[in-house]
Structure 1
């Protein structure tokens, strides 16, 4: 699939360190983001892929056994328990995987002198702010998932002030299906589709995220530290994102039955057990100020992904076979 690079907002980009070959551990390398990131890093570095059964984030003993024998320069934690509603009713498991395990990983890594990047979430915020959240805004999670990820952030940064937290939102891309695939399959199966029309966030392409995180890992002064928001540009509602997905599908010839998606309040969705922040859009101005790079708009990133996706290819193959 052809992929456009993130847009540079400066005529002359800031200097980027050409990093010497590093050994980088990816915890959660079987997931969508972890796998894509590992593949990208492997082109220039030694990558240690860690996923079950090699490491079980619900078992601190497993974490220690997996990491203690290893030597690495950088470690990225992409693994997490991300099922928001499951977390709400399984708080102990959520905190074990999303907080205690990252804290243990960070402590082991600090003893090795290794830098840790922890992938976190927009759901550390309560959603009451009308504007996009910055890194300076005080988190106030309203779900077990958000609270467990915030605790993970705190433990990772407490282990070493050099560590990095990257908050992301609404991730999609190659690998297991995410929201774009789900909404298109739904729209191809029935004419009446509803989505929250007041829930606002920023979709994040895992392909773009992989490219965008590189300047944070390999900056001229070494890896970045502290908290950074990282997502595609400009907020949208869940309904707007879904509408763009099905309009793109229809334009590509997929058998879409649904027309205009009907917006509903996010807190009225019967399937939701956990509360969702109404607005969890995030500003990436801090990232742009450091790197000179402005992430692509979510519409462009979503269309690019869909037009080259296996979902579109499979629908086209079925249509041609009829």
Structure 2
């Protein structure tokens, strides 16, 4: 049996970068970045998919600038809603399967429990609304699909909270991080490996939305402290430069002290029970995943 043909978007994003080598162990991957394929160009998307004739489309590409989306709604919707619709329509025409990624931002964060896949959505801003529109478009296109909602994505590669916290703790004399927003920090590596497992075991006609995050939860402040604690453990061994702000000195602040153009959900917890029920999968605890990322040889050069 020949390896499946896979079309992967967004390879310079955190999830796309993690997916490319992992998917390549199973299939023949054609991976494109925004320079090779403009996801705001419908004709270009259709032409590319029809030329490649993939058996699987994996779409981690997204407009993720949450605050900037408030002033660029057309571009956010083009990439987060229209591009997934077009990809899903082409997948349906080819009889291909599609994996698409979404976000905790489809919820308003006002619930006092982790969100299930069936809970009512109510995005607070353009980013979340555009991602929700993308979910609905994929569902309506008729292709066999998996929509994987995740949260607080970070990894050894790319711009993300982990790298930002380390940089700030090296550069500044004090650091205050929001403590009244909670969620599950989720490793891009764990997203990628779980995606491959899903693809390998996706034998029956099963489509749907699943919540895919590392287990457990914390606040942004708790995540920042854990990052710096791991840094302090590894600092001597790796020869990393000393921190100016220690893990014990990170201040907890309220969301109101750090205003942003776009509102964030207070509660970003996603319930992963359905993924375990249907697929037998539950991702590791976020602390375990964080240490794995921190121990990545390429981290911080």
Same fold, TM exceeding 0.5? yes
Aligned positions of 1:57-206 closer than 5 A: 57-160=39-142, 162-206=144-188
Instruction: Give 1:174 shift.
Output: 2.9
1:299 aligned to 283, 287, 290, which one?
287
Gaps of 5+ in 2: 236-240
- Structure 1 window deviating more from structure 2 (232-241 vs 63-72): it is 63-72
RMSD, matched Cα: 1.7
1:264 aligns to what? 253
Q: 1:180 to 1:231 in 2, by over 3 A?
A: same
User: Is residue 215 of structure 2 the alignment partner of residue 233 of structure 1?
Assistant: yes
Compared CA separation, residues 173 and 148, structure 1 to 2 (3 A): same
**Is the counterpart of residue 280 in structure 1 residue 268 in structure 2?**
yes
- Deviation of 1:260 after TM superposition, in Å, equals 2.5
2-side partners of 1:267 and 1:168: how far apart?
25
Deviations, residues 87-145 of structure 1 (Å, cap 9, x unaligned): 11111111011001110111111111111111111110000001111111111100100
Question: 1:46 and 1:144 mapped to 2: Cα distance?
Answer: 35
- What is the distance in 1 between the residues matched to 2:136 and 2:279? 25
Measure how far apart 1:161 and its partner are.
5.9
More divergent stretch after superposition (91-100 vs 298-307): 298-307
Contact 1:181–1:311, Cα closer than 8 Å, also in 2: no
TM-fit CA distance, 1:291: 2.5
Cα distance change, pair 243–252 in 1 and its aligned pair in 2 (3 A):
same
Q: TM-score, normalised by structure 2?
A: 0.92
How many pairs are equivalent?
294
* Per-residue CA distance 1:42-97 (angstroms, 9 max, x = gap): 12211111222221111212212222222111101110100100111111111011
Closer/same/farther in 2, CA of residues 132 and 284 from structure 1, 3 Å limit? same
| TM-score normalised over the length of structure 1 | 0.87
Residue ranges of structure 1 left out of the alignment (5+ in a row): 1-18, 315-322
> What is the CA deviation profile of residues 206-228 of structure 1, one whole-angstrom value per residue up to 9, with x for unaligned ones?
11111112232222534741100
State the match for 2:238 in structure 1. none
Report the secondary structure of 2:226's partner residue.
helix
Inter-CA distance 310–41: structure 2 relative to 1 (3 Å threshold): closer
